[in-house]
């Protein structure tokens, strides 16, 4: 699993995450978000529901080596 720092900027909960990270940092706790390879491959297509992902599913599976 890898960091999702590039993904967080577009996450639906970005306001909450930013506040939580700030408060956790004040307590000496580092927020570490994790993602799987498939998360990073699917994320750019998941902009408004499942429709765009569904249209690209073959390409996504190929990218992940799951053809």
Q: Can you spell out the DSSP letters for the chain? A: -EE-HHHHTT-TTHHHHHHHHHHHHHTT-----EE-HHHHHHGGG-SSSSHHHHHTHHHHHHHTT--
Q: Which mean pLDDT values do the consecutive 10-residue runs of the chain (67 residues) have?
A: 50 80 94 85 81 86 85
Residue 11's pLDDT is what? 57
CA gyration radius for the chain?
A: 15
Residue 2's pLDDT is what? 47
Q: In whole angstroms, give the CA distance from residue 65 to residue 62.
A: 5
pTM score of the predicted model: 0.49
Residue 38's pLDDT is what? 86
């Amino acid at each position: 699993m890898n960091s999702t720092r590039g993904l967080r900027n577009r996450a639906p909960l970005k306001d909450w995450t930013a506040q939580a990270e700030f408060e956790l940092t004040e307590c000496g706790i580092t927020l570490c978000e994790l993602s799987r390879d498939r998360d990073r491959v699917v994320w750019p297509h998941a902009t408004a529901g499942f429709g765009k992902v569904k249209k690209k599913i073959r390409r996504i599976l190929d990218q992940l080596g799951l053809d």
